[in-house]
Structure 1
Amino acid sequence: MIRTGNQYREGLRDGREVWIDGERVKDVTTHPALKPIVDVKARMYDMAHEEQHQDALTYVENNERHSVFQQPPTTQEDWHRKWASVDLLMKDIGGVATRLGDETVGEMWSLQDGRDVLAQIDPRFADNIDRHIRRVVEKDIFHVSANTDPKGDRSLPIDQRDPDMMIRVVRETDAGIIIRGAKFETASAYADQAYLKPTVGAWTDEKESIHAVGCIVKMGAPGVKHICRAPFATKGTAADIPLASRFDEVEALCVFDDVLIPWEDVFFYRHTAAAQQVRATLHRYSAFPYVLRVLYVADMMIGAAMWNAKQTGLEKLQSVQEKLADLVCYREGIRAHLTAAIALAERSPAGLLMPNQSILYAGRVLACSQLPVMMHAARELIGGQICVTPDSVQFEGGAGNWLQKFYTLNKEWGAEDRRKLLAFARDLLNSDYAGHRLAFVQFAQAPHFNHLAAVYKSFDFSGPLDFVRNSAGLSERVLGGKKH
């Protein structure tokens, strides 16, 4: 059944070991670095119980109500409802949060698509996948992704590095496997569980490896330690960091110090073929909500730039309109790819409906690769005041009269609205938080070369090949087992 925000918060009070600024956190739900983003996730749960939102955010199955965000998609309507649900949530919270669970649960659906491969290794593993997907639906679990290992000196073979630099199984027991190592994770400190899997492995002819493991890890399990980066939410007041103060999704080095993974939580183990198959299909669903988040970042850039033009009276200048049009083309390009990915969706091996893979991955390349360019276009539109405007306390202090004078634009736009817009734009485009978010977008679903590799592998080259063969009068060739 769908959880409430308070039930989610209570689930986080499980004795988990979280460290911030050199101190152990007593309660992640109240710590100033984590409370704002915990409240955002709690709001996601609470909205599903509210009469005005419930029909949009939930569905009924077997007389029980479940979250649309966790629903395995089987129809185009399922995808449209997921999009509408994200839209409703982002507008309610007034910003963009990426790690909320709906963008990572799709990795479980990808696992289900490969269950036959895993079943050949051990039928228990395939059954575990089915059960966990159902459990996420029924328990409304906040599920995140454990992906990137520290790796160490990558000029050395894995067997010559500190073995803990890559997650590994150190031994088997009757109860399950024992793992050691670490992962960099977003939201691990305030999530229920993580799907842990290997970083793309440099395996050649090895059929088995202690690093080829995929499993569910409870974030409060004994031996799991969350060592968080320095937070942004505590670096200023909400008036000066309106986004970072609410939406800082704190990452952590999640250390696994001899953590027991029960056999029922293991999806694959030892076999490199299984691990490689999982990596190859990992993002076939999760890329959609991930790219959708960037659409809302684009909306914030357009809105901030357009409000600035309206405040300063420059919206009628052709040069300003052209730069705004560049931002709009970027935004609409993302929307077009997402829309087309649903319209041309494909049936998956497990019977789910996956977004058109070539179009979705091409949209991800557009959204991620062009974000730095679009951020700079928005900076140019808003101008240098985002990096020179004093903080809010100055507007209230002894120098406030001068700031009121020089930040008042006209009778319609006073100093306070001007300051608020510039503070928002700075946090969006020019702050430490903005730089962090940009780096996050570039690497959160693998780096750019992996994005391009996904496009290459998912695109059907037969159309262009046949078109040119016919046009150029080339003889037929057999490529990839198919005659062209």
Structure 2
Amino acid sequence: MIRTGDEYRESLNDGRQIWINGERVDDPCNHPQFKPVIDIRARIYDMQHDPETQGAMTYEEQGERFAIGLRLPYEQQDWQDKRDAVDLVMNDIGGVVTRVGDETIGEMWSLWDGKDILNEIDPRFATNIERHIHQCIKDDPFHVSANTDPKGDRSKAPQDQDPDMLVHVVRETDAGIVIRGAKYETAAAYSNQAFLKPTIANWGNDKLSDYALGCIVHMNAPGVKHICRTGFAGRAPEADYPLSNRVDEIDTLMILDDVLVPWEDVLFYQHTRAASFIRTTLHRYSAFPFVQRTLSYADLIIGAALWNVKQTGLDKQQAVQEKLSELAIWREGINAFLTASVATAEKSPNGLLMPNQSLLMSSRVHALTNLPHMMHLARELCGGQICVTPDAATFAAPDTKPWMDKFYSINEEWVADDRRKLLGLARDLLNSDYAGHRLTFQLFAQSPPFAQLAAVYRNFDWQGPLEFSHKAAGLSDNVWGKGTRH
């Protein structure tokens, strides 16, 4: 059954080991740096029960309701329903959160598409992944995806350095496998379970490797420790940094200190072919909600920039309109890619409907490659005041308020306090520690740029351009035989 926010909060009181700022966290739900984002995830659960939002957030099957983000996609409407739900959440919370479960569950669907490969290795593995997918739909856990390892010296094979730099199996038992290492994962400390997958590793020609591993890890399992980066919430007043204090997602170095993974939670093990498959197909579904979050981020950037130029009348100038148009073209490009990827969706090897892979992977590159330039363009449109404006306390203090009112009020519509709020949003969105973190997160959250370009290369249909140019040049059939071996 779909969970409530309180049921989610209660699930975090399970004895998990969390540290932040060097201190042990006993109650994450009430910790000042965890509470804001936990409350957002709880709000998403509550939206599944709220009569005003339940219809968009859930679907009904055999008399029960389930989360729309976890629904297996079989037709185009399924993707539109998911898209509508994400937009509803972003608008409700007034910001952008990414790792809340609907994005990461898609990686499990990608693995399920490889069930033929898994069956060749061990039939239990395909059964395990199918059971976990349906268990997620039924139990509605906060499911994330354990991402990259510390890696160590990348010029060396994993076994030629400290072996724990990459997660690996240390031994097998009747109950399951015992793993050791570490993973970075956003939201791990306040989620319920993670799909732990292999990083891009140096296996050489090995067919078997203890580092080729995919499994489900429960966040409260013995031996799991969460060491978190310092959060942005609470560093400065929310009046000055509204996004930092509300939508900061905490990243975790998840230590795996001899963690037992039951056999039923092992999704693949040892076979590098299975590990390579999941790395190359990992984001065939999850890229869609991820890029959609970038679209929401684009709307936030455009809105902040446009309000800033409208308040002073600069939106009437052609040079300003040209810059706004650049932002709009970037935004509409993301929107077009997403829309087209569903309109031309393809059947997956397992019968699911996956967005057109060439368009989806191109959309990710388009959205993220242009993000730094668009943020800088928005900084220019917002002007230098986003980095020099005093804080909210200065606008409220009796000694300084008259001066703030005088120099920050423009007219009856734009009084000083509204200008302060707008500049505060723009500063936090474009110019703060949170803004820099968000930019880096977008860059690497779904693999580094070279891997994103590699995904485009693998999925683009090269045949059409080859045929067109071959015919236009009048090339012989001998050339065609060589040219198609791309």
TM-score, shorter chain, exceeding 0.5: yes
Residue matched to 2:460: 459
Residue matched to 1:410: 411
User: 1:192-251 CA deviation, whole Å, 9 max, x = no partner?
Assistant: 100001101222210111100100000111110010001101211110110010101000
Mapping 1:17-36, distance limit 5 Å: 17-36=17-36
Is the contact between residue 195 and residue 216 of structure 2 (CA under 8 Å) also seen in structure 1? yes
Residue matched to 1:110: 110
What stretches of structure 1 move > 3 A for 4+ residues in a row? 477-484
Paired amino acid for 1:458: N
Mapped to 1, the partners of 2:357 and 2:482 lie a distance apart of 19
Paired amino acid for 1:251: D
User: 1:251-296 CA deviation, whole Å, 9 max, x = no partner?
Assistant: 0110000000000000000111110011111000000000000001
RMSD (CA atoms)? 1.2
Is the contact between residue 97 and residue 247 of structure 1 (CA under 8 Å) also seen in structure 2? yes
Residue matched to 1:317: 317
Confirm or deny that 1:100 pairs with 2:92: no
For structure 2, the 5+ residue unaligned runs are: none
Deviation at residue 62 of structure 1 after TM alignment: 2.2
Residue matched to 2:349: 349
Distance 1:480 1:109, change over 3 A: farther
Aligned length: 484
For structure 1, the 5+ residue unaligned runs are: none
User: 1:381-416 CA deviation, whole Å, 9 max, x = no partner?
Assistant: 000000001111111122222112111111211000
Deviation at residue 342 of structure 1 after TM alignment: 0.2
Deviation at residue 481 of structure 1 after TM alignment: 11
Mapped to 1, the partners of 2:13 and 2:481 lie a distance apart of 57
SS in structure 2 opposite 1:169?
strand
Mapping 1:252-267, distance limit 5 Å: 252-267=252-267
User: 1:393-450 CA deviation, whole Å, 9 max, x = no partner?
Assistant: 1111222221121111112110000000000000000000000000000000011111
Residue matched to 1:433: 434
Mapped to 1, the partners of 2:161 and 2:485 lie a distance apart of 46
Residue matched to 2:287: 287
Residue matched to 1:152: 152
SS in structure 2 opposite 1:14?
coil
Paired amino acid for 2:19: W
SS in structure 2 opposite 1:244?
coil
SS in structure 2 opposite 1:51?
coil
Mapped to 2, the partners of 1:104 and 1:479 lie a distance apart of 41
Residue matched to 2:197: 197
Mapped to 1, the partners of 2:365 and 2:21 lie a distance apart of 35
Mapped to 1, the partners of 2:191 and 2:116 lie a distance apart of 29
Mapped to 2, the partners of 1:52 and 1:208 lie a distance apart of 52
Deviation at residue 155 of structure 1 after TM alignment: 2.2
Deviation at residue 11 of structure 1 after TM alignment: 0.5
SS in structure 1 opposite 2:316?
coil
Mapped to 1, the partners of 2:7 and 2:315 lie a distance apart of 48
Deviation at residue 157 of structure 1 after TM alignment: 2.4
Deviation at residue 116 of structure 1 after TM alignment: 1.0
Is the contact between residue 387 and residue 426 of structure 1 (CA under 8 Å) also seen in structure 2? yes
Confirm or deny that 1:470 pairs with 2:463: no
Is the contact between residue 108 and residue 133 of structure 1 (CA under 8 Å) also seen in structure 2? yes
Mapped to 1, the partners of 2:485 and 2:230 lie a distance apart of 57
Mapped to 2, the partners of 1:286 and 1:462 lie a distance apart of 26
Is the contact between residue 96 and residue 297 of structure 1 (CA under 8 Å) also seen in structure 2? yes
Deviation at residue 82 of structure 1 after TM alignment: 0.4
Residue matched to 1:216: 216
User: 1:151-183 CA deviation, whole Å, 9 max, x = no partner?
Assistant: 011122222211110001000000000000000
Paired amino acid for 1:430: N
Mapped to 2, the partners of 1:479 and 1:277 lie a distance apart of 28
Mapping 1:374-389, distance limit 5 Å: 374-389=374-389
SS in structure 1 opposite 2:246?
helix
Mapped to 2, the partners of 1:294 and 1:481 lie a distance apart of 37
Residue matched to 2:396: 396
Paired amino acid for 1:344: T
Mapped to 1, the partners of 2:258 and 2:158 lie a distance apart of 20
Moved more, 244-253 or 470-479: 470-479
Sequence identity of aligned pairs in percent? 61
Moved more, 393-402 or 241-250: 393-402
Mapped to 1, the partners of 2:448 and 2:401 lie a distance apart of 46
Confirm or deny that 1:67 pairs with 2:64: no
Mapped to 2, the partners of 1:237 and 1:133 lie a distance apart of 41
Residue matched to 2:183: 183
Mapped to 2, the partners of 1:411 and 1:52 lie a distance apart of 35
Confirm or deny that 1:421 pairs with 2:422: yes
Is the contact between residue 177 and residue 263 of structure 2 (CA under 8 Å) also seen in structure 1? yes
Moved more, 33-42 or 154-163: 154-163
Paired amino acid for 1:165: M
Mapped to 2, the partners of 1:244 and 1:116 lie a distance apart of 45
SS in structure 2 opposite 1:156?
coil
Mapped to 1, the partners of 2:484 and 2:283 lie a distance apart of 27
Distance 1:480 1:241, change over 3 A: farther
Distance 1:101 1:456, change over 3 A: same
Is the contact between residue 201 and residue 276 of structure 1 (CA under 8 Å) also seen in structure 2? no
SS in structure 2 opposite 1:214?
strand
TM-score, L = length of structure 2 = 0.98
Is the contact between residue 157 and residue 203 of structure 2 (CA under 8 Å) also seen in structure 1? no
Residue matched to 1:240: 240
Is the contact between residue 176 and residue 262 of structure 2 (CA under 8 Å) also seen in structure 1? yes
Paired amino acid for 1:325: S
SS in structure 2 opposite 1:246?
coil
Residue matched to 1:174: 174
User: 1:74-99 CA deviation, whole Å, 9 max, x = no partner?
Assistant: 00000000000111111111111011
Residue matched to 1:78: 78
Mapped to 2, the partners of 1:467 and 1:245 lie a distance apart of 54
SS in structure 1 opposite 2:74?
coil
Is the contact between residue 73 and residue 353 of structure 2 (CA under 8 Å) also seen in structure 1? yes
